[in-house]
A and B are shown apart, each in its own frame.
Chain A
C-alpha cells in the first residue's frame, strides 16, 4: 500500500514550528517511515509544480504553519487546501494569526515605510521598496504582494484541525500525527489539545487564592518571582485562566507566566476580552483612580491580552488603519 502523503508548509512565521517538527528527534524517523512527504520547503527541495500535479485530495494532510500575510501564502494555502483531505493549522500563527497578527495594529503603508525607510537599522537611500513587477535583462519577475492585514489560516481557507502552540510542543504534535495516521480524529474543527484552562494543569495551582484582590500589577522583569507561587497572586499577568491546557505548563516550569499561545477553550469567543474580564474582577480597588493605578502596571493591553490572537479576536484589526 502506498504511504499516505503529507505536506508541511510555512507562511508568515518565525520558523519555530518547523523546528518543532525536527524536535520530534528520533520520532521523526518513525514518522518519515510511515508517510511520504510531498512538500516541505524548509527541509527538502520540492517545487510547487509537484504539488499542482497531484490529484485533488492526493495529500492526506497538510500541516500549515504561519499566518497568511501575502498573496503567495494565500495562493499556496488554497492550492494545498484543494489537494489535501485534511488541512491542519499548525501553531499559533496559523491558528489565530499569532505574533504576526499584531501587525493588524498598523496599515500596510505604515509598515512598509518603517521597515524600508524608518527603522534605525535600515540604510536605504533610494527608498527602494519591493515591487510586484520587475523587469531585468529581458526577464519579467512577478513577486507576491503584501496583504493589507494578517489573517489566520481559517480566515482564508477551510481548516479541519488546529494544533495550538507557539510552537506546538513535540507532545501535542506527536498526538496529532498519531490521531491522524490511526484515524482517531475528533469532530472536524477541533483544536487538538485538552478543552480546559491551563490553570487546571498548572503546578502552582494550589497556591492560587480564592480572592486575589490585586493591589498592583508587575511585569516579570520587574520583580524576582517566587518559583512556586501562582503568578497572579504575585501580581503578574498570567494568561492561564483564559488559555487552553496541553502545553504541560512549560513556561511556568521556567518561572515565566503564560502568555496565551494555546488560544482559548471552545467556550470562549475572544481570549483577550475573557482575560480582561477575569483579571479585572480580581483587582482590589473600587474607585476609578485606584483601578487605573493598578492597571497602569499593564502598559500595553492589546499586546498583552492578544499576543497571539489579534487576527482572530472579535475586532480583528485596528479600526481606520
Chain B
C-alpha cells in the first residue's frame, strides 16, 4: 500500500503546514494578501523569525499530526537577516529529504523555497503548485495509518482478556506444581 493507492476520503483536500520566516517569506505572504492575489486555502502558515529556526523536529511533528505536506520559506541566499540561518535550513533540508525518502514520504510533500519580501506572486505560485502535487499524491494521513497499525495490539489485549475471563478454572487444573 502506498499513498497513491490510499483511499481518498470524500471531501479531502491537502493540508499543508508552512513555516515562513518573518523577514522575507511571511512578508511576501502578507504582500500577496494586500495585493489580493488568490491562492489555494490549504496552507496553515506558522511565522518564525528565521528559516534557520525550523527544527527538523517541527517538520516531522507536522507530518505526524496529519499534515500532507510541509513548506518552508526563507530569504534568498545572502539575504538572511541573521546572515547564516537560511544556509542552515538549506543543509537540513538536503539531508531531510533523503531521510524522508527513506521513510517512504514522497519528495513533493516537503519543499523549501526562497521567497523575498517582494515576491508575493511567488508565494501564490509555489503554494498552488504544491497543493496540486499533493492532491495528485493523495493524503499522507499518518494518524489514521497509526490508528490502524495500533489496532493489532489493542485487538490482542481484548483477546487475552477474553481468554482469561473464560478459562481461569481450566488453567488451574491443567498445571499442578509449585
* A binding-site residues for B, Cβ under 8 Å: 47, 49-50, 52-53, 71, 74-75, 78, 105, 147-149, 151, 155-156, 268-270, 272-274, 276-277, 279-281, 283, 285-288, 291-292, 295, 298, 300-302, 305, 313-321
Q: Are B88 and A281 in contact (CB under 8 A)?
A: yes
Q: Are A276 and B56 in contact (CB under 8 A)?
A: yes
A177 to chain B, nearest CB (A): 26
Whether, in the assembled complex, B169 has its beta carbon less than 8 Å from a beta carbon of chain A, the answer is no
Q: Are B98 and A301 in contact (CB under 8 A)?
A: yes
Q: Which residues of B contact A105 (CB under 8 A)?
A: 102-103
Other 19 A-B pairs with CB < 8 A, given A75-B156, A288-B90: A71-B156, A74-B153, A75-B160, A105-B103, A268-B57, A273-B55, A276-B95, A281-B91, A287-B77, A298-B95, A301-B99, A314-B60, A315-B60, A315-B63, A315-B64, A316-B146, A319-B103, A319-B140, A321-B104
Q: Are B92 and A277 in contact (CB under 8 A)?
A: yes
Task: List B1-52 residues whose CB lies under 8 Å from chain A.
Answer: 1-3
Chain A residue with Cβ nearest B78: A286
Q: Are B87 and A286 in contact (CB under 8 A)?
A: yes
Q: Which residues of B contact A147 (CB under 8 A)?
A: 152-153
A221 to chain B, nearest CB (A): 21
Q: Are B99 and A302 in contact (CB under 8 A)?
A: yes
A295 touching B104 in the complex, CB below 8 Å, given contacts A149-B149, A313-B60: no
Query: Binding site of B, secondary structure by majority: helix, strand, loop or mixed?
Result: helix
Task: List B79-93 residues whose CB lies under 8 Å from chain A.
Answer: 87-88, 90-92
Q: Which residues of A contact B104 (CB under 8 A)?
A: 318-321
Q: Are B57 and A277 in contact (CB under 8 A)?
A: yes
Q: Are B149 and A317 in contact (CB under 8 A)?
A: yes
Q: Are B60 and A305 in contact (CB under 8 A)?
A: no
Q: Which residues of B contact A301 (CB under 8 A)?
A: 95, 98-99, 102
A319 touching B145 in the complex, CB below 8 Å, given contacts A151-B153, A288-B90: yes
A-B contact pairs, 7 of them (CB 8 A): A74-B153, A75-B156, A155-B153, A270-B57, A276-B92, A285-B91, A301-B102
Task: List B106-149 residues whose CB lies under 8 Å from chain A.
Answer: 140, 142, 145-146, 149
